[in-house]
Amino acid sequence: MIEGNPPPLAIASRVLAPETLSVLRRHPYHLVAWRIADRWAFSQPERLRDLEAEGEILVLIRLLEQQQLEHEALLDSVEEQRVGMSPTEILLQRGVELRL
């Protein structure tokens, strides 16, 4: 269970190696990728660990791709945000896969 509002990468830090987290804290990754990493670490920790075991670069590439998808979808959703839809609702409505 998650209580409160954990800082970015707090959940991912329990799953990913410190080296991977260090790279995630640098450009071109930003808050969107950090939230994705936390979401994956919370909902699919074993899958995220397995992907990292195949190679840190695979996690980084996948996160960068997902960051771009979600960022673009949210940038194009001004009307949905105006009527109070959550980012998750917007992404699902636009067919963006949220799982790893």
pLDDT tens per residue across span 22-80: 999 999 999 999 999 999 999 999 999 999 999 999 999 999 999 999 999 999 898 88
- Please tell me the distance from the alpha carbon of residue 57 to that of residue 73, in angstroms, as a whole number: 24
Domain residue spans in the chain? 12-93
Contact status, residue 24 vs residue 9, Cβ threshold 8 Å: yes
State how far the Cα of 6 lies from the Cα of 81, in Å rounded to an integer.
Answer: 23
pTM of the predicted protein model: 0.89
What's residue 32's pLDDT?
A: 92
Position 68 scores a pLDDT of 96
* Higher pLDDT, residue 6 or 51: 51
